[in-house]
Amino acid sequence: MTRAAVKQTYKNRGTNDLVNDQAPDPALKQVAEKYNVGITAAVMDTIKTDANGKHIKHDPVALQYMPDTRELVETPDERFDPIGDIPHSPVKGIVHRHKDRVLFMPTSTCAVYCRYCFRKEKLGAGEYALKKADIEQALDYIENTKDIWEVILTGGDPLVLSAKRLKYILDRLEAIEHVAVIRIHSRVPVAAPDKITDEMCAALKTRKALYMAVHVNHAQEISSAAEDALFKLHQSGCVLLSQTVLLKKINDNADTLEALFRKLVSIRVKPYYLHHADKTLGTSHFRTTIKEGQHITQELRKNASGLCQPTYILDIPGGHGKIPVARTYIRQNGQCSNEKSWNVLDHQDQWHHYEDHQGNEDKN
């Protein structure tokens, strides 16, 4: 879909009360010129309304999609390619940074356009728009690179492809012996659950292990239609994971995240990653500090089941990969030169001494 078409769709879906088209703010128009704007009817239905039936602007779902003039504010530490994908792209549509796995972006279109997206400038008709021949070239690269154990379909959103096209890609991947695992990162199950049709589910049935990482940031996004879509995916054999971006004023407190992760676990979705928001251009209003993220994840650890604990992750700017950044619960005992002496922190914020096993591993 072209950017103009996306904008048209957006307008047609009754979002005028969110963007206030009656008196268009020129700066807001500038935002829409620069970045894709898009929201589905399904998402609109999850946004709370006021006494007059108008969508509430500071609603945690609305804030994720509603264009905001603060997107024009770019801070010096923000980058066009925040996580350094571009230098690691051997062929169009592939990012191969880690030996055992590649990102494969078969489309640059999404069902919705998230304002904080770390690829927001490259979407739509941008960098990741692939032609048929590009897809073949990407598949050939995967086929010819024996180290690739896992293929991560992302984008854009792979589930906006037609079931037929997706099936073609999955069939090709299934036939490649060294590819053991296929992973799909998608926002479609929550943002456009009607796209999870029987035909789509049939296309997703494959002999290879298929993991689906669903992007969701707030429990309010999980409508009953989204639940049904996730159930269908589960029934089709997908192992369901979630990924969440820590976002200021949207989900940056332990209670909100606890409600989200409990909901996910109760519908068979294992929270996988909680991402620290990337330094994408024009997204500073969404970013928390690492310290805040550590505090929130520590609270979550105190209160909720181990199943509700995703790994809190930072993607190091410049293409150095993802690392866990939650606070550490163990440190070497500083008063002691013995490497086997540790201090460990419990859930009541009490430190304990832990003396390591006095084994004979020093021999080797």
Ligand X SMILES: *Cc1c(COP(=O)(O)O)cnc(C)c1O
Residues that bind ligand SF4 (CB under 6 A): 110, 112-114, 117, 119, 123, 155, 157, 187, 215
State the minimum distance, in angstroms, from the CB of residue 185 to ligand X.
9
Residue 210: exposure state from Cβ atoms within 10 A (0-12, 13-18, ≥19) = buried
Binder of residue 95, out of ligand SF4, ligand X, none (CB less than 5 to 8 A by kind):
ligand X
Binder of residue 322, out of ligand X, ligand SF4, none (CB less than 5 to 8 A by kind):
ligand X
Q: Which of 31, 43, 103, 196 binds ligand X (CB under 6 A)?
A: 103
Residue 101 sits in the site that holds ligand X (CB under 6 A): yes
Residue 7 sits in the site that holds ligand X (CB under 6 A): no
Nearest to 312 by CA among 304, 324, 303: 324
State the minimum distance, in angstroms, from the CB of residue 54 to ligand X.
38
Residue 117 sits in the site that holds ligand X (CB under 6 A): no
Pick 112 or 129: Cβ nearer ligand SF4: 112
Q: Tell me whether strands 330-332 and 341-345 are parallel, antiparallel or unpaired.
A: antiparallel
Q: Tell me whether strands 181-186 and 322-324 are parallel, antiparallel or unpaired.
A: unpaired
C-beta of residue 194 within 8 angstroms of C-beta of residue 186:
no
Residue 34 sits in the site that holds ligand X (CB under 6 A): no
> Rounded CA gap, 117 and 96, in Å?
20
Cα-based angle 348, 251, 321 (whole degrees, multiple of 5) = 85
State the minimum distance, in angstroms, from the CB of residue 59 to ligand SF4.
17
Whether the link from the prior residue into 156 is cis, omega within 30° of 0, is yes
Pick 113 or 312: Cβ nearer ligand SF4: 113
Pick 101 or 195: Cβ nearer ligand X: 101
Pick 48 or 320: Cβ nearer ligand X: 320
Contact letters (x/-) for ligand X, 48-87, by CB under 6 A? -----------------------------------x----
15 token code pair? 């979002």
C-beta of residue 330 within 8 angstroms of C-beta of residue 343:
yes
Residue 181: exposure state from Cβ atoms within 10 A (0-12, 13-18, ≥19) = middle
Binder of residue 117, out of ligand X, ligand SF4, none (CB less than 5 to 8 A by kind):
ligand SF4
Beta bridge partner(s), residue 215:
243
Question: Sheet of 239-246: strands edge to edge?
Answer: 94-98, 101-104, 150-153, 181-186, 209-215, 239-246, 270-276, 311-315, 322-324
State the minimum distance, in angstroms, from the CB of residue 38 to ligand SF4.
8
> Rounded CA gap, 152 and 181, in Å?
8
Task: Tell me how many residues contact ligand X (CB under 6 A).
Answer: 8
Contact letters (x/-) for ligand X, 317-346, by CB under 6 A? -----x------------------------
Pick 92 or 97: Cβ nearer ligand X: 97
Residue 98 sits in the site that holds ligand X (CB under 6 A): yes
Binder of residue 98, out of ligand X, ligand SF4, none (CB less than 5 to 8 A by kind):
ligand X
Residue 95 sits in the site that holds ligand X (CB under 6 A): yes
Residue type, 286: F
The number of residues in the chain equals 364
Binder of residue 17, out of ligand SF4, ligand X, none (CB less than 5 to 8 A by kind):
none
Pick 79 or 322: Cβ nearer ligand X: 322
Considering only 95-103, 134-142, 253-261, 351-359, which stretch makes contact with ligand X by CB under 6 A? Answer: 95-103
The beta-strand segments (E) located in the chain are 94-98, 101-104, 150-153, 181-186, 209-215, 239-246, 270-276, 311-315, 322-324, 330-332, 341-345, 351-355
* Residues lying near ligand X in the complex (CB under 6 A): 83, 95, 97-98, 101, 103, 152, 322
